Amino acid sequence: MIRNEPVNVPPPDAVTSRPGLVEFAGWVVWAACTAACIVKAVKDINKARSLGEDSWYPMIHALDFMRGPNPDQVYQTLFFSQHVKFQYPPSGVLFLDLLQGLGVRSSADCNALNAGLMIVAGLALAAIAVRTLGPLRFLGIRIPVGPLAFLVTLRFYPNEDAFYLGQVQVWLNLLFVLSCLALLFERRFIAGCLIGAAALVKPQFLPLGLLALLHRDWRFLGGLTVLVTSGFLASVSRYGLNAFFNYLPVLKFLSLHGEFEQSNQSINGIVGRLVYDGPPLDIDPQGPIVQSMFPPYIPVVYYTTLLTSIAMIAIPFLVQAWRDTRVARAHETPLSRMLSICFASTLFTMASPISWLHHYGILLPGYVVVLKLILDREEGAGRWGALIALGASFLMTAVPLSHLVDPTSPGAGLIRAHVFIGAWILLGLMLGNLIERPAPSPSLSAAALLRETPEPETSRQ
């Protein structure tokens, strides 16, 4: 707050020293953040080739099999008989097939590529944060928004999990962040193309096309349709149409059984871990596949998952229909479109029976846009409450907390589902802004907290 009070004017040296100290502190903060970004990026690049092959092992095996005489038998042979968890559609190996033609052949090569893609994702989120939030200050020190966003991307728990496991999810998280960046710059056709590319690997993104159809966003829908159609036709020509039909039993199997592991942060995983009271899954005689880690069919788990999945898929369509009756399409902004796609994508991801921890890497753009909308609110308890909720949500999703809890203690199952709970808090904040966005203050808006403020005068004439 700026005050004009009849107080004694301090000497010029006292007036000029504080701004200089603040500016120096700002440079120190920027240098420290930039150095941390470089160190983390170099560290990831150096160790990338020795990381896991969680996606690459089944995908490379599937691709080798599909190049053989019976590509349509890939799921029966690998998934059901050899217990290789190739759970992607045939189009999911199309990018890997292309990359192998360019020399990216081994798991180590794919992990080295992931290291570079993580850096690109960090730069994309930094661009989103700088474009969305603008210059911010805390205690007079200008916050290094771009470097912090870059560092958060590389250190975000789901992103690190995907990177260390050797996961294709790194590609999908990057495509999603780039799509949000395209929306921010009003490149909706490009945004649709990027989501379409992700949907070839992860079909959970496909309902975004129906949402665009409901909203009559023809450019986004056109881009998504072009990529999905092109990828599907290329996959059919290379692997055959029967491979897609034979993928349906895999989807049915996964919906009936789900996954028991702690990393499955979904309703299916949480309820399954609460109610299953049998032997270890790899020796359970009731297990669906001998010596596999899939849980047996449990009706209460299946029907709970089915009902909640239907509800979560329906929510974005209901919210969009409600908004279309109250917000004219001409008044939609890039920020509101980005918020809508983040909200819907998070729900579509969580609706799946299997939502691995690394699938939640798509949350980061949502955190940026919600922070922007909170900072644009007027001063008051509501803004502080929203900031606290956002901070709690980010802590739950960005930091591994499971190891802090004894898995045998009461309620440990829910506590270890902290990423799932944190995502729901973020969804609540996004929903509140989608239904009713408070108008920004006409004066200082968020200046009293973090927004850029004018530099203090260093001298008076």
Q: Which helix (H) or strand (E) holds 373?
A: helix 364-375
Lowest mean pLDDT segment, chosen from 4-13, 40-49, 63-72, 234-243: 4-13
What pLDDT sits at residue 281?
A: 53
Measured CA to CA, the distance from residue 64 to residue 74 in angstroms comes to: 10
What is the pLDDT of the chain when averaged over all its residues?
Answer: 85
> Do the Cβ atoms of 66 and 90 come closer than 8 Å?
yes
pLDDT for the residue numbered 438: 40
In the predicted structure, residue 407 carries a pLDDT above the cut 70: no
| DSSP label at residue 439 | P
Please state whether 335 falls in left (phi above 0), alpha (psi between -120 and 50) or beta: alpha
* pTM listed for this prediction: 0.87
Q: What is the pLDDT of residue 287?
A: 52
Q: Is residue 145 over pLDDT 50?
A: yes
The first and second tokens of residue 432, run together, are 């509140």
Map residue 168 onto helix, strand or coil: coil
- Identify the three-state secondary structure at position 148: helix
Mean pLDDT of 30-38: 91
Q: Distance between CA 171 and CA 86 in Å, rounded?
A: 17
Q: What is the pLDDT of residue 414?
A: 74
Summarised one tens digit per residue, pLDDT across range 294-331 is 888 889 999 999 999 999 999 999 999 888 887 766 67
In what helix (H) or strand (E) does residue 142 lie, and over which residues does it extend? Answer: strand 141-142
* Residue 333: band (very low, low, confident or very high) from pLDDT cuts 50, 70, 90: confident
Tell me, what's the pLDDT at 302?
Answer: 94
Distances (CA, A) of 167 to 75, 113, 117, 356, 385: 20, 11, 12, 11, 36
pLDDT at 25: 77
Q: How far apart are CA 444 and CA 2, in angstroms?
A: 11
Task: Give CA separation, 254 vs 82, 294, 302, 312, in Å.
Answer: 16, 9, 10, 18
Per the CB < 8 A criterion, the answer to whether 306 and 351 are in contact is no
Residues 6+ apart with CB under 8 A from 141: 22, 25, 26, 29
End-to-end CA distance of the chain: give it in Å, rounded: 22
Gap between the Cα atoms of 77 and 229, Å rounded: 27
pLDDT score of 428 more than 80? yes
Look at residue 141 in the predicted model and tell me its pLDDT.
Answer: 81
Quick one: how far is CA 359 from the chain centroid? 6
Give residue 234's pLDDT.
Answer: 95
| Cα gap 305→290, rounded to integer Å | 24
Residue 137 dihedral angles phi and psi, to the nearest 5°: -130, 145
Pairing of strands 141-142, 137-138: antiparallel
Q: What is the DSSP letter of 137?
A: E
208 phi, psi to nearest 5 deg: -65, -30
pLDDT tens for residues 250-300?
999 999 988 888 889 999 999 988 887 765 554 545 555 544 578 888 899
pLDDT given for residue 409 in this prediction: 67
Contact status, residue 335 vs residue 365, Cβ threshold 8 Å: no
- Model confidence at 158: pLDDT above 90: yes
Taking CA atoms, 6 is separated from 9, 11, 17, 61, 428, in Å, by: 9, 15, 22, 79, 47
Q: What is the DSSP string of 306-330?
A: HHHHHHHHHHHHHHHHHHHTTS-GG
- Band of residue 446 on the pLDDT scale cut at 50, 70, 90: very low
Q: Residue 460: its pLDDT value, please?
A: 38
Residue percentage of the chain with pLDDT more than 90 = 63
pLDDT of 7 > 80? The answer is: no
C-alpha pair distances (Å), 114 with each of 323, 353, 397:
38, 26, 21
Beta strands per DSSP E along 294-449: none
Q: pLDDT digit string (tens) for 104-143?
A: 989 999 999 999 999 999 999 999 999 999 888 877 788 8
Tell me if 129 sits within 8 A of 149, measured CB to CB.
yes
Looking at residue 138, what DSSP letter applies? E
Burial status of residue 77 (CB atoms within 10 A of its CB: 0-12, 13-18, 19 or more): middle
| 8 A C-beta contact, residue 354 and residue 251 | no
Check residue 5 and give its pLDDT: 42
Percent of the chain with pLDDT over 70: 84
In a 3-state reduction of DSSP, which class is residue 437? coil
Going along 303-410, which residue ranges are E strands? none
The pLDDT of residue 113 is 95
Q: Give the DSSP per-residue string, 249-312.
A: HHHHHHHHH---STTB-SHHHHHHHHH--SS-GGG-TTSSSTT--PPPP-HHHHHHHHHHHHHH
Give residue-wise pLDDT tens across range 170-195.
999 999 999 999 999 999 999 999 99
- The per-residue pLDDT for 74 is 93
pLDDT score of 374 more than 60? yes
CA pair distance 381, 387, nearest whole angstrom: 10
User: CA 215, 217, 218 angle in degrees (round to 5)?
Assistant: 135
SS (H, E, C) 19-60: HHHHHHHHHHHHHHHHHHHHHHHHHHHHHHHHCCCCCHHHHH
